[in-house]
Amino acid sequence: DAGVIQSPRHEVTEMGQEVTLRCKPISGHDYLFWYRQTMMRGLELLIYFNNNVPIDDSGMPEDRFSAKMPNASFSTLKIQPSEPRDSAVYFCASGGRSYEQYFGPGTRLTVT
């Protein structure tokens, strides 16, 4: 298996623009997680899905953030409008029934 795939790997955008991050989980995994990593807050969970259904979005910072999982092999995290404080590395992870989570390579987002 190719592991968790994320795109783009790097994104530079201007404040106010819409940003869409993409994730393809490991085939057969029924959990998908979005995390954000910053120097100040470390690694924190934003939202997770089980069988394509959002279960816990309590970590989503505000209404500017939204996430979808239209099918078992694809998820998006959207920020609209983006702000400089959204600059971070965004990780997608997936997991199966063993509860072990596997992380993608991350998307480094810079909002100027």
Partner 1 sequence: GIQVEQSPPDLILQEGANSTLRCNFSDSVNNLQWFHQNPWGQLINLFYIPSGTKQNGRLSATTVATERYSLLYISSSQTTDSGVYFCAVRETGFQKLVFGTGTRLLVSP
Which residues of this chain interact with partner 1, rule CB under 8 A?
Answer: 31, 33, 42-45, 48, 50, 55-56, 59, 89, 91, 98-103, 105-106, 108
Q: Kindly state the smallest distance separating residue 101's Cβ from partner 1, in Å.
A: 6
Q: Are 7 and 76 in contact, with CB atoms under 8 Å apart?
A: no
Q: Kindly state the smallest distance separating residue 35's Cβ from partner 1, in Å.
A: 8
Q: Cβ atoms within 10 A of the Cβ of 6, count? A: 21
Residue among 54 and 81 whose Cβ is closer to partner 1 = 54
**What is the rounded CA–CA span in Å between residue 97 and residue 86?**
32
Q: Cβ atoms within 10 A of the Cβ of 40, count? A: 6
Tokens of 73: 């092999």
Q: Kindly state the smallest distance separating residue 24's Cβ from partner 1, in Å.
A: 16
Candidates 39, 31, 32, 83; CA nearest to 61 is: 83
Residue among 22 and 108 whose Cβ is closer to partner 1 = 108
Q: Kindly state the smallest distance separating residue 81's Cβ from partner 1, in Å.
A: 26
Residue among 81 and 105 whose Cβ is closer to partner 1 = 105
